[in-house]
Amino acid sequence: MNTHLIGTDVNRIDGPAKVSGAAKYAGEFFASDMLYAVVVSGAIAHGEIASIDTHKAMKVPGAIEVFTHKNRPHLAWFDKSYLDEDAPTDGKPLRPLYDASIHHSGQPIALAVAESFEAARYMARLVHVEYKAFTHQTDMTMAVQEAKRIEKSNRTGIEPPPKPRGNSAEAYAAAAVKLDKTYHSPTETHNPMELFATTVVYNPDDTLTIYDKTQSVSNSQLYVTNIFGFSKSDVRVESPFVGGAFGSALRPQYQLYLATLAAKALKRSVRLTLTRDQMFTLGHRPETLQEIRIGANTNGDLQSLHNETMQATSRYENYFEVIANWSGLSYHCDNVTMEEKIVAMDTATPGDMRAPGAAQGVWAIETAMDELAVATGRDPVELRLQNYAEKDQNHDKKYSSKELKACYQQAAERFRWSERKSTPRTERRGTSLVGRGMAGGVWEAPQLPAAAKATLAPDGTLTVASGTADIGTGTYTAMAILAGEALGLPLNRVIVKLGDTELPVAPLEGGSWTIASVGTAVTEACKAVAEKIFKLAAGLDHSPLKHASFKEVEFVNERISLIADPSSFVTLQAALAAGDGKPIEEKTKSGPNLLKQHGYKSYTHSAVFAEVEVDEDFGTVSVCRVVSAIAGGRIINHEAARNQIIGGIVWGIGMALQEQSETDHQLGRIMNHNLAEYHVPVCADVHDIEVIFVKEDDDIVNPIGAKGLGEIGLVGVAAAIGNAIYNATGRRVRDLPITLDKLI
Amino acid sequence: MNNFEYIRADDLSGAARFVASHGQAKFIGGGTNLVDLMKYAVERPTALVDLNRLKLRDITVLPDGGVRIGALVTNSDAAYSPVVSSRYPLLSRAILAGASAQLRNKATTSGNLLQRTRCVYFYDTAVPCNKREPGTGCPAKEGINRSLAILGTSVECIATHPSDMCVAMAALGAVVQVTGPTGDRSILFADFHRLPGDHPEIDSTLAKDEIITAVDLPATGFAKNSAYIKVRDRQSYAFALISVAAGLEVVDGLITKAGVAMGGVAHKPWRSAQLEQQLLVGKPANRDTWHAFQSALLAGAQGYGENDFKLKLAPVTVVRALEQAAHEGDQA
Ligand SMILES: Cc1cc2nc3c(=O)[nH]c(=O)nc-3n(C[C@H](O)[C@H](O)[C@H](O)COP(=O)(O)OP(=O)(O)OC[C@H]3O[C@@H](n4cnc5c(N)ncnc54)[C@H](O)[C@@H]3O)c2cc1C
Ligand code: SF4
């Protein structure tokens, strides 16, 4: 296909609005009668509210109401009303203010509402709560004996482990080389810059317009209509801009619930923004403990693989992520057993966080593979190539494409992997040991059903719309690129609308499926419009396209021209002039082509190489160089794609070295709940990063051949860094993050 | 945030008198610590006396050759001032190792001295903390104490003073100038901060109604041989796990003067002038000397679990700082 936009470097079309402040986020919308709400967070991990006294709070000038479980309005009775699209179907979602029970520290227990934010905040402080505390458990290592095995899926796309293949125990017993190690990863908390916020505008006709920080306006709409008994036509949810989410806004968060509760009860508009500290009371990446057993021959060929994963969840929802399965997917092995177990604790339910499951699962197996390379004296890249998985053995399916070998090869070359010394502690720079390591990465590349609308105005302006979200990933721009490509329009002729329940329905924006799903829908809607204009163009008197079929023309530079002879064309303008003066509008629903995809699975892949310097005295680690090669199908916006991968790598540096939500288990509470103490990389921690996109053609994955890139950039990075640290120091750290105390 | 009165002070004595007569009044400098604490309801002043209009923003050379840094000189201005960076590079480096550029532009010298601990329990009013609410307990001792003290702790509290600037000032032997309703006084840096003891709620020996007016640096400032080493969890914008400010004067390989202070280990910058006299001054500037000194300086150090690693990290940091200070300028 001849392209003029796809695959080029395109600046964000929403960039100017963002940097000038014109882009409005959920907590920035305003209504003239608006009230402000502030959440009162609970102090204990498990128990009951014995008493709650709001008298002092209500005396604050400007006070409107303090909602508690005592005076809350009517709420739905059944658990199923509280299930959002991403909730585990077998859980009992949290119902803030429903009753006196407390399920986790920081749980919202009251909502102060006032005429001003300052008054509401002061009121929140004056609410006096007495608790009846029950015993609690937040320490997973103390609760492992209560682990429950996962048997079946309870969320779309989240699979339990496949049945064992072969006999891993026998093969392990017979193997010449054996590894049996446990890998621990901590709780991590999403910290998008934008805090969770909802502005509920109460309209004169008792309907609501809700501005919410969400990765799915339709999920937010479903949630509040079910709980508060609204009909869908009464609730419009908009989310034009999202200041980062990383999975945290897939499920409706409690500020949406509470702001809606207050607006409905008071018949007034309400704005509620959580504090940074309260961001630590929502979903989080679950803590994991993975026991990995590998059996291999002396040459490093895998003979047996066993991954038994334990992951934390809450007491009220059986949330789980796919963690163990990545072990059995990544390499060819005929004897594999994988188990996934959950441990329920008195915490909030975990939630999807960038590359949920793979971030931890791939880290562990890729670290274990490095250990196998050391044990067998093989080069880590060679070891991976000799165990290369030519098919998805977990599902017994072929890959629709897998250019991972090209990733290894191109990244290794750029990184100058051949200069690496395989013996630890052989290279020094000043007071530091230098090490190099690598790892592979993998993430799914699914396509989900999605709808989109394309409208071509008589003046040649194209509007494309879909109820998806742009959480900073570049959805606006990608939709514009695909639309402009389909109709031969420059970007400044394309208007994109998203984040609104009035628009055609799109899936949750997550899982790296948006480009494949919404991108396909947009392309198809634009194709449908193109066909109509083509008819107008062909119908013109003396049209050079009179005898052409739609397949024989292309849309380039605002012209419809014959592919065989581009000098024969009709301008878009001339074609539109032949119309009836009304916009041409097409709405499409697209979904995976099951026939074409039958027998295939689709994934993105990566090879990540890292160089570190480790100060010998201090154990401080500097990640001086990262090269990541990505096989992600067709790249739609090269610049945004590169941004995504770099962002993922920076996150990987944090995962490897810094990120952890530190819980005081006596108090059952995360204590480093602010950005001074919850560490993520700062600029000084980020050095050279290079991204390579290898060529990967795939016409099975979806019609546009693109795979999402939201997650893959992160996967494998922590392992590559950990492996480099081993190469530098000879120390293998199987417990993230690798803080300096683990290296001195 | 609670409601509070806000007053701009125009003269020192008026400001001191106001605070003396208002039970819950507090001074405010850059506000980078106090305002955070007010948002968290850890500090609940009923009145704020803003010192920013007072003429305490100058850096002046004193008759004895020392340098006076006005209390309201920002951390950035102090660090980049030519007289400080040339004569007291140790102090410049320490200041620039702290916080972020934005914070340093706002933070004042006096506010930095009086910033409070970063112990996570201290910042969260939902949990106990003896420093915040005396008598409630110290969950840090058996909890999250990775960044907390290994020296000079008490049964009640194991918090650290988090400043970088103060560690260098302690090593330099600075003097804090204060004024109050009863007049002016000078406080030796070593006496300014205190150990937690039975009163962890009190950080310093400054009275509530006393105002810091300046910090005086002595005439000699280890301009030739000094080092500030800060070991932290990320390369910027993180408090010190261990920091060491080391200043030396070396003549023909022998140490003639030394000042060494540590941050991240105690409720105050940790320094022993006596050990410096005994184990550094007159000794050769070599590794044996550093080792003998660090083991004496760190004698009695005790870990509380998470922070046990500091027992290993502290000695190597002292040695590295002394080694680096001794060899500063070697290549130049
Ligand atoms: C995220 C973050 C990271 C940081 N990292 C570091 C770091 O790495 N290293 C480091 O050293 N610091 C760090 N800091 C702390 C920073 O240095 C202090 O917040 C700052 O120095 C305080 O100065 P201020 O002028 O803003 O003080 P304020 O907040 O205005 O005041 C602090 C205290 O001093 C009192 N006070 C102020 N001036 C006077 C006076 N003249 N007389 C009497 N009392 C007075 C106030 O009443 C108040 O109690 C960090 C801070 C933050 C928020
Ligand atoms: S160490 Fe001090 S500041 Fe920290 S919890 Fe204990 S008493 Fe409070």
Contact residues, chain A to chain B, C-beta under 8 Å: 41, 43, 118, 121-122, 125, 277, 431, 617-620, 622, 657-658, 662, 664-667, 669, 671-674, 676-677, 679, 681-685, 739-741, 744
Three-state SS at B142:
helix
Q: What's the confidence (pLDDT) of residue A290?
A: 98
Which candidate in A621, A664, A731 is best for mutational testing of the B interface (most B CBs within 10 A)? A664
Asked if residue A15 is part of any domain, the answer here is no
Same domain, residue pair A512 and A543: yes
Cβ of B162 closer than 6 Å to ligand 1, yes or no, is yes
Asked if residue A515 is part of any domain, the answer here is yes
Give the end of a domain, one of A563, A591, A619: A591
Asked if residue A326 is part of any domain, the answer here is no
Same domain, residue pair A587 and A599: no
Q: What one-character DSSP code corresponds to residue B146?
A: T
Q: What's the confidence (pLDDT) of residue B182?
A: 87
Counting ligand 2 atoms within 8 A of each CB, the residue from B117, B123, B130, B194 with the most, and so the one to mutate, is B130
Asked if residue A284 is part of any domain, the answer here is no
The whole-angstrom separation of Cα A208 and Cα A269 is 9
Q: Which residues of chain A have pLDDT under 70?
A: 1-3
Q: What's the distance, CA A129 to chain centroid?
A: 36
Same domain, residue pair A668 and A717: yes
Percent of chain B with pLDDT over 90: 96
This prediction has a pTM of 0.98
Question: A63: domain CATH number?
Answer: 3.90.1170.50
Q: What's the confidence (pLDDT) of residue B332?
A: 47
Please give the single-letter amino acid code of residue A428: R
pLDDT score of B42 more than 80: yes
| Domain region containing A442 | 398-446+594-744
Q: Where are the beta strands (DSSP E) in A45-124?
A: 47-53, 63-67, 101-102, 108-114
The whole-angstrom separation of Cα A722 and Cα A728 is 10
Same domain, residue pair A580 and A599: no
Same domain, residue pair A515 and A432: no
Q: What's the confidence (pLDDT) of residue A560?
A: 97
The whole-angstrom separation of Cα A268 and Cα A37 is 12
Q: Does the active-site annotation cover A524?
A: no
Same domain, residue pair A525 and A565: yes
Q: What's the confidence (pLDDT) of residue B289?
A: 98
Same domain, residue pair A404 and A475: no
pLDDT score of B329 more than 80: no
| Residues paired with residue B257 on neighbouring β-strands, in sequence order | B249
Average of per-residue pLDDT across B168-174: 98
In ligand 2, which atom is closest to the CA atom of B132?
A: 8
Instruction: Quick: pLDDT tens for A11-65.
Output: 999 999 999 999 999 999 999 999 999 999 999 999 999 999 999 999 999 999 9
Give the end of a domain, one of A228, A257, A279: A279
Per the structure, the count of domains in chain A is 3
Question: A406: domain CATH number?
Answer: 3.30.365.10
- In the structure encoding, which two tokens stand for residue A118, read together? 């300052």
The whole-angstrom separation of Cα A65 and Cα A50 is 20
Same domain, residue pair A59 and A128: yes
Three-state SS at B177:
strand
Report CA dihedral (B193, B195, B197, B202) to the nearest 10 degrees: 30
Q: Give B34 Cα–ligand 1 centroid separation in angstroms.
A: 7
In ligand 1, which atom is closest to the CA atom of B239?
A: 8
Q: Give B30 Cα–ligand 1 centroid separation in angstroms.
A: 7
Q: What's the confidence (pLDDT) of residue B2?
A: 81
Same domain, residue pair A73 and A107: yes
B128: cis peptide before it, omega within 30°? Answer: no
- In the structure encoding, which two tokens stand for residue A332, read together? 């060819």
Q: What one-character DSSP code corresponds to residue B299?
A: T
Q: What's the confidence (pLDDT) of residue A3?
A: 65
Q: Give B167 Cα–ligand 1 centroid separation in angstroms.
A: 14
CA distance A121 to chain B (A): 7
Location of structure tokens 């995962």: A655
Asked if residue A337 is part of any domain, the answer here is no
Three-state SS at B158:
coil
- At residue B306 the predicted structure's pLDDT band, cuts being 50, 70 and 90, is very high
Give the end of a domain, one of A570, A591, A612: A591
Q: With an 8 Å Cβ cutoff, are B127 and A671 in contact?
A: yes
| Structural Rg of chain A based on CA atoms | 27
Q: What's the confidence (pLDDT) of residue A4?
A: 85
pLDDT score of B143 more than 70: yes
Strands B47-50 and B5-8, bridge-based pairing: parallel
Q: What's the distance, CA A681 to chain centroid?
A: 19
Same domain, residue pair A717 and A744: yes
> Half-sphere exposure of B294 toward its Cβ, with a 13 Å CA cutoff?
23
Asked if residue A183 is part of any domain, the answer here is no
Least Cα distance to A675 among B94, B100, B142, B263 occurs for: B100
Same domain, residue pair A440 and A454: no
A121 chain-B contacts, CB cut-off 8 A: 1
Domains of chain B, with CATH numbers? 1-50 (3.30.43.10), 225-326 (3.30.390.50)
Asked if residue A327 is part of any domain, the answer here is no
The whole-angstrom separation of Cα A189 and Cα A192 is 10
Supply the DSSP string of A485-501, one letter for each residue. Answer: HHHT--GGGEEEEESBT
Same domain, residue pair A31 and A71: yes
Cβ of B163 closer than 6 Å to ligand 1, yes or no, is yes
Asked if residue A737 is part of any domain, the answer here is yes
Q: Give B156 Cα–ligand 2 centroid separation in angstroms.
A: 7
Q: With an 8 Å Cβ cutoff, are B234 and A43 in contact?
A: no
Least Cα distance to A19 among A196, A249, A241 occurs for: A241
Instruction: Quick: pLDDT tens for A422-478.
Output: 999 999 999 999 999 999 999 999 999 999 999 999 999 999 999 999 999 999 999
